[in-house]
Chain A
């Protein structure tokens, strides 16, 4: 009993000292952050917490809260975690501040490609890049003598061989759940086929040759998937991989670490990454690059913004990468890309474009996510599906004031 008490006292004494060990400074201004809740954010907010006086909220529904919370005066949070898409409402509402002066003061360790610039002003600082890239069972492909597919037609051919071999329940997995997941699969292929979603005057052009090709490819691919593919999102595909049910998928790079985790995966060491396949041979890698990063609220006193930015820089520092080297493909200095980053890097070098981030794309993505399933379930023809998607976009764009 006495020993227990002693241990408790010793722990109590140690804790406050340890709390600031990994932070370069002692933060005295209370700082609050609102971010998503995946692994990378856990690592970043843990590093920020070491500076003291930091309260972090990690919430996967952050995107519904953030615009209103940042529009309040004073803002309800100082630091926001954003990505390509979720930064748009904040940019549009003007509720985040330019960071150039703060970077001059505290951001020496940042690399040029971490800065998200709009017309020359830095509005956000990125910490990682993520993309759906080609993940495959290297053991199966090797055994069947299949070369790593570089185009989606190669993927179909490989899938046929794998199906014939019976090595897995389904050759392919994909994130096809209506909404964001399905829309991203479409967007990736559509851009790969050289399509463009809207004309410069914001009128839609999804009903196009590229659109038809994309739908046809999605349909062909779906034949090699679990017939319940329309309920499958990233975690579903991740589990299919982990349980050895599928052999190939164009899946988020940030999911790769879990596939190689002996605690939850049965296929450790049998997983490899490659560039996302091309839609057209010799064309661009048919995927889009995403980034995650931080923004600082505009409606807070400058001193508080100073403190918030310094804390955020600790979060985006080398100790975070050291703590969670495999969580994502970090952009932070000191990151040495491992095997799991190969696919993203190959896709980026293969010409994969950044995921377009603007209000129009938000509408496009939503109507695609709602509309494509109608073709896959056979409710509509390809032409009718695309025409309806265009029509749905028109309604939305008029409603939002993007079109007259």
Chain B
């Protein structure tokens, strides 16, 4: 009963849009074009350029509104994204294997997104835990200011943070300038893909660690003192206490942080915009965005964008399944 309002809102704002995106990914709505001879005059300087050419123009009805048709296209949009034929070609005799696969936008985006997610995950959890343990072991009066300072990276808006880091490292940035002054060598972080990728990974770890830290720190406050003292009496070393008492106590929190981080980093987008990495690295979320974004003359690829966001969602689910199953088992075992 009490969940009814929240269920209704979830239905309205999550399930319905999702359903609509799902349906859209199988349908294409297009204007009906007709081919016409058209004369177009545009300005030169002091002269007029007139050209007559055959061009496609959307047909309009009596009221002047363009006529559109919607057709069921099955899996065409997914095929256009996943390009199974090109994949088969890449792995057949004479194909160029993984390089061929990664020349297809979707797989390049998937590769980056997965690397990004799976590399940052252990780093964020590890560093967050270290930071929490370090601050927890300090005298009480240092803790407040230190917690505040450690939280700062998390407070910064992701795009702004990414832009600031980019401006530090771009060709004539402050840091590049300093490094050049010291070593005399020119550093070009934005001239090749792997350095940009490294910057993006580092940035995300820097940005997301405080969240993990604050959750773990809260968890550390609830570790049972009795058990710890008992362990000390039994002669357990610091490391043993950590491994046998503290970590098991924090496991549910670690799972929680992992879940949130997986979902967050699989949707990586701000870094692509902030670091302008489109030439070298794109993510799945960016792929959807670029399909949705109208081009110069207002065309957007709604169908493929829908398909791409469905695929992104499937990806997240696949990544989350092991973690969720683990939690579920633990919950059941606990009862």
Q: Give the Cβ gap from B73 to chain A, nearest Cβ, in Å.
A: 9
A180 CB contact (under 8 Å) in B43, B46, B64, B296: B296
Contact partner of A359 (CB less than 8 A), chosen from B32, B43, B56, B65, is B56
Number of chain B residues whose Cβ lies closer than 8 Å to a Cβ of chain A = 58
Which residue on chain A has the smallest CB distance to residue B61? A94
Which of under 10, 10 to 19, 20 to 34, or 35 or more describes the interface residues of A? 35 or more
**Inter-chain contact total with CB atoms closer than 8 Å:** 181
A399 neighbours in B (Cβ, 8 Å): 28, 30, 77, 80, 301, 303-304
Residues of A within 8 Å of B55, CB to CB, are: 358, 360
**Among the listed stretches B34-42, B197-205, B231-239, B309-317, which one makes contact with chain A, having 4 or more residues with CB under 8 Å of it?**
B34-42
The answer to whether A363 and B42 have CB atoms under 8 Å apart is: no
Residue of A with least CB distance to B189 = A228
Known: A359-B297, A360-B56, A374-B103. A401 touches B48 (CB 8 A): no
**How far in angstroms is the closest Cβ of chain A from B310?**
16
Asked if A228 and B188 make an inter-chain contact with CB atoms under 8 angstroms apart, the answer reads: yes
Whether a CB of chain B sits under 8 angstroms from the CB of A116 is yes
The answer to whether the Cβ of A31 comes within 8 Å of any Cβ in the partner chain is no
Q: Which of B45, B50, B276 interacts with A329 by CB under 8 Å? A: B45
Give residues 122-178 of B contacting A (CB, 8 Å): 170-172
Does A231 sit within 8 A of B, measured CB to CB?
A: yes
From A117, A178, A289, A379, give the contact of B278 (CB < 8 A): A178
Which residue of A has the minimal Cβ distance to B186? A227
Tell me the bound Cα distance from A67 to B49 in angstroms: 26
- Which listed residue (B103, B192, B296, B299) contacts A400, Cβ 8 A? B299
**Interface pick from A19-27, A118-126, A136-144, A158-166:** A118-126
Distance, CA A177 to CA B192, complexed state (A): 14
Question: Which of A9-17, A81-89, A264-272 is the interface stretch?
Answer: A81-89
Chain A residues 225 to 243 lying within 8 A of chain B, measured CB to CB, are 226-228, 230-231, 243
User: Known: A129-B45, A358-B56. Contact between A388 and B103, CB under 8 A?
Assistant: yes
Query: Does A366 interact with chain B (Cβ within 8 Å)?
Result: yes
* B-side contacts of A395, CB under 8 Å: 80, 304
Contact stretch, chosen from A44-52, A107-115, A306-314: A107-115
| In the assembled complex, A93 has its CB within 8 A of some CB on chain B | yes
Determine if B294 and A63 form an interchain contact, defined as CB atoms under 8 angstroms apart: yes
In this assembly, does B57 line the interface, its C-beta being within 8 Å of a C-beta of chain A? Answer: yes
Contact flags A348-382 to B (C-beta < 8 A → 1, else 0)? 11000110011111110110001001101101100
Q: Which 10 A-B pairs have CB atoms at the shortest separation, nearest pair first?
A: A362-B297, A89-B298, A401-B30, A227-B191, A85-B296, A88-B297, A373-B279, A366-B295, A230-B279, A117-B41
Q: Which residues of A contact B (CB under 8 A)?
A: 63-64, 67, 84-86, 88-89, 92-94, 112-120, 126, 129, 177-180, 200, 202, 226-228, 230-231, 243, 245, 289, 291, 298, 329, 331, 337, 341, 344-345, 348-349, 353-354, 357-363, 365-366, 370, 373-374, 376-377, 379-380, 384, 388, 395-396, 399-402
9 contacts between A and B (CB under 8 A): A86-B296, A89-B297, A115-B48, A178-B278, A228-B170, A362-B295, A380-B103, A399-B304, A401-B33
